Amino acid sequence: MATREERIQRVKRKALENDMNYSGCSQSVLGALQEEFGIGSPESFRAAAMLSGGIARQGETCGAIIGALSALGLLIGRQKIQDSDIYRNGMPPATQLRARFMTELQKQFGLEKEVTSTLCHHIQEMIYGRPFDFNKQADYDAFLVAGGHTEAGCPKVCAVAAQVAAEKILGLQS
């Protein structure tokens, strides 16, 4: 049986490889977590398809953190809208996961400035020095030239999101 750290590293690597090989940060993270923890369904994975690149490639909320929070929701989220207590009780772990994601981005990318937002454009600016509009071919090409789909780019953001989600999930299961 794999140790806690082995599981975290496995899901981290899988999310990185998913994004490098197939793109789609939200599904890259969610898929790695679904596989490792046996959660969700093909439908929940499919629902994350349009959330990458900052929601439909608009630079808004980072798809990697959306995938991580979606996995957390599959485990501790409410099943019926009437389950208000479950909804409220899920917010502290989600908030903790988000905060840890930002801290780990700063640490693992060696960023001097504190990461204060989960906006895709903000994260791009921190990593690459500028945001990109993925809906413009010239910007997307510039993103690729900047290393956007390498181990040092957005796939690493996916790895960080998967790592912190796996840590949170394993902590809740203890």
Instruction: Give the start-to-end residue ranges of the domains of the chain.
Output: 4-173
In 3D space, the residue among 28, 6, 10, 7 whose CA is nearest the CA of residue 154 turns out to be: 28
| Residue 169 pLDDT grade (very low, low, confident, very high; cuts 50, 70, 90) | very high
Q: What is the pLDDT of residues 59-86, one digit of tens each?
A: 999 999 999 999 999 999 999 999 999 9
Q: What is the DSSP string of 159-173?
A: HHHHHHHHHHHHHHH
For the beta carbon of residue 75, count every other beta carbon within 10 angstroms. 17
Q: What is the pLDDT of residues 146-157, one digit of tens each?
A: 999 999 999 999
3-state secondary structure 9-24: HHHHHHHHHHHHHHCC
> What do you get for the CA distance between the two ends of the chain, in Å?
16
